[in-house]
Amino acid sequence: MVKNVSLDAVDQKLALAKQCSHEGVVAGAKAAVVASVGTAIPIYAFGKMSPWAKTYLNPTAKALIISTAAGMAYFVVADKTILKIERQNSFKQN
């Protein structure tokens, strides 16, 4: 069975999806910045103080640790933000 859907309803849903994804990107970017700073300071301090870290953690390893934390924070926060907003919007439309 084919359901008739007006173009206005489709445009409204598309606009809502764009707004939702934009808010997720902004929240994820903020979380990535916080995670980068939050991991960079201890990683570089640990690299200066610990003999093990001086020996085994080169600058590439430190950058990899920081970028991994930032990437994880971005995707987790963006996903949670998008899901939260979509859940709120699903209750409004029904």
Question: For residues 82 and 90, what is the distance between their CA atoms, to the nearest angstrom?
Answer: 12
Question: For residues 80 and 23, what is the distance between their CA atoms, to the nearest angstrom?
Answer: 11
Question: For residues 78 and 66, what is the distance between their CA atoms, to the nearest angstrom?
Answer: 18
Residue 33 above 80 pLDDT? yes
- Tell me the whole-structure pTM to 2 decimals: 0.80
Q: Which two tokens stand for residue 89?
A: 């919007």
Find where tokens 């709120």 sit.
88
Q: List, for residues 41-60, the tens digit of each pLDDT value.
A: 999 999 999 999 999 999 99
pLDDT of residue 94: 52
What mean pLDDT value characterizes the chain?
Answer: 90
